[in-house]
Amino acid sequence: MRIHIATDHAGLDLSNHLITHLRAAGHEVIDHGPQTYDALDDYPAFCINAAQVTVDDRESGIEALGIVFGGSGNGEQMAANKVSGARAALVWNLSTARLAREHNDANIISIGAREHTIGEATGFIDAFIAEPFSEEERHVRRIRQLAEYETSGTIVGKNVDEK
Looking at the annotation, which residues are catalytic?
76, 103
Instruction: List the one residue out of 128, 116, 38 whose CA is nearest residue 89.
Output: 128
Cβ atoms of 51 and 94 within 8 Å: the answer is no
Question: Cα(87)–Cα(97) distance, rounded to whole angstroms?
Answer: 13
Question: Cα(34)–Cα(110) distance, rounded to whole angstroms?
Answer: 16
Lay out the sheet containing 2-6: strands in order across: 28-31, 2-6, 64-70, 108-112, 88-90
Instruction: List the one residue out of 102, 100, 78 whose CA is nearest residue 91.
Output: 100
33: left (phi over 0), alpha (psi -120 to 50) or beta: left
